[in-house]
Amino acid sequence: MFEIFLGFIVLVYILDIIALFYFGVHCYAMVHLFLKHRKRCEINPTELSALQKKMGAWPKVTIQLPMYNEFYVVERLIDATCQIDYPKNKLEIQVLDDSTDETRALALSKVQEYRKKGFNIHYIHRTSRNGHKAGALREAMEVAKGEFLAIFDADFIPAKDFLKKTIPYFWESPKIGMVQTRWGHINADYSILTKAQSIGIDGHFIIEQVARGGSKLWMNFNGTAGVWRKECIYDAGNWESDTLTEDFDLSYRAELKGWEFKYVTDVVNPAELPATVPAYKSQQFRWCKGSIQTAVKLIPAILRSKEPALVKIEAITHLTNYSVHPLMVINILTTLPLLYFHNHFKNFSMPLLFATAFILSIGTFGPISMYIVSQRALYKDWKRRMLWLPVLTVIGTGIAINNTKAWLEAVLGKKSQFIRTPKMKLEKADDKLTERAKYTSIKMDKLAFLELFFAIYIFFTIAVAISVGKAFVVPFLTLYGIGFLYVSFMTLYDPIKQAVLQRRTAQQENI
């Protein structure tokens, strides 16, 4: 019986490293497609000018600004939106405010200010958050006058030329249903956490989106900084709130209907990165769970579709990409028994098994190659920026427990509320979190204790690996261990720090 158990562990370990190898090699494929098709996603001034002539007059556009309790950033968003270069008589702005705090007063005041300046801007407040962001967008679309709908989340600063560099592409083909632009970074230099995140975001928007958009594979709307053809949204079945990534869901439903998407890498809209580990984990939890929910919902339809096999494979790989995190956890859990009981494997060649695992670990460097190429494509000082890559790697492994929980909830069909990522207008390194304490709240996440347990488990595994002469696994395990230690510590530290800051703020107001 014991031998059967050990054999099962070996089988799980082998399947796990093969799956991790696949997702790693997929990153190499994305880099290859980026290098091959990058020019297709860059703006060609001559082509853009020809599309503008073909278009004729500028069409009516509605910009939607969905928000919920965004006290610190609501004014910045509305101000920037009203600075977009587009004919006033063709532009409508909808402020979709589901807030329950003082954000309402700030948003309404800003809307009234710009209405007096001649802007066609409307304040729409809902008394219930039915459907959350998807519900707000769906309801507002019924009264939107625009033929095209642009969307910006509260943490963004829309580019001034956003509309004039995206709208013409809808005249490239009547099948173009959505044009997505690139996310920039407002606060990349705020902390080591935001520096690391900026590299990860660049990897997606420079490599993955260009690879998919440039090679006519399915790509997705990123929830913000994009513009839709209203007809496309209706044809795809409209916004739905049964997943936490309504953007991903609508994108693939539209592409199942035959719509095509365009990605424009030269239009950059800066966004605020989460400044605390709990906020980052909350964002990643939502993205992970939502993408797996969308996978469960749409993979059967994708398999039944008449799309080419390559399109189907890429679409499913994209939808299930967050599976790397539960695969990481499985890898951690199975490594210890393999090392500890290595002398008991009479029917297996353990040196061959670990040698195979070592060879397949080449897939581990897939994401790293993607980040390096993206930084080199974007920045002259890319070598200096690479100093923060280890931090991204540590954080990326440290949230494996957080995202495994999200993955399991999605697969098991467990519902959860849409939890917004706090935006605190932390733009520069000298902006103080103490000044943002009143309208932000960071809850204690008990998952931190499980992350701490995993860190201890990993360091014990390292000790066993050294004792049995299998030190080649130590670098990977050390990376995991440091990641879990960092994430668990900051998950516990940030809420305590925030609670202290809030108490001090309250005391100062009472003086």
Q: SS3 sequence, 116-165?
A: HCCCCEEEEECCCCCCHHHHHHHHHHCCCCCCEEEECCCCECCCCCCCCC
What is the tens place of the pLDDT at every residue in 73-126? 999 999 999 999 999 999 999 999 999 989 999 999 999 999 999 999 999 999
- Residue 227 pLDDT level (bands cut at 50, 70, 90): very high
Q: What is the pLDDT of residue 472?
A: 77
pLDDT > 80? residue 213: yes
Q: Cα Rg for the chain, rounded, in angstroms?
A: 24
Q: Is the pLDDT of residue 476 over 90?
A: no
Catalytic annotation, pick one of 97, 98, 153, 249 = 98
Residue 148's CB: how many other CB atoms inside 10 A? 22
312-331 residue pLDDT tens: 999 999 999 999 999 999 99
Out of 30-34, 328-332, 502-506, pick the least confident. Answer: 502-506
| Average pLDDT value for residue range 17-32 | 94
CATH superfamily of 32-273: Spore Coat Polysaccharide Biosynthesis Protein SpsA; Chain A (3.90.550.10)
Encode pLDDT of 120-153 as tens digits: 999 999 988 899 999 999 999 999 999 999 999 9
Among residues 97, 153, 202, 247, which one is catalytic? 247
Who contacts 75 (Cβ-Cβ below 8 Å, separation ≥6)? 106, 110
Distance CA 206, CA 59 (A): 29
pLDDT at 374 > cutoff 60: yes
Concerning whether 247 is annotated as a catalytic residue, the answer is yes
Q: What is the pLDDT of residue 443?
A: 67
pTM for the model: 0.92
Start-end of CATH 3.90.550.10 domains in the chain: 32-273
Q: Is 30 exposed, middle or buried (0-12, 13-18, 19+ CB in 10 A)?
A: buried
C-alpha distances out from residue 239 to 235, 259, 292, 439, Å: 11, 16, 18, 29
Is it the case that residue 352 has pLDDT exceeding 80? Answer: no
Active site residue 155: no
Tokens in use for 430? 């000298």
pLDDT at 355 over 90: no
Alpha helices per DSSP H over 38-96: 45-55, 74-81
203 CB neighbour count, 10 Å cutoff: 24
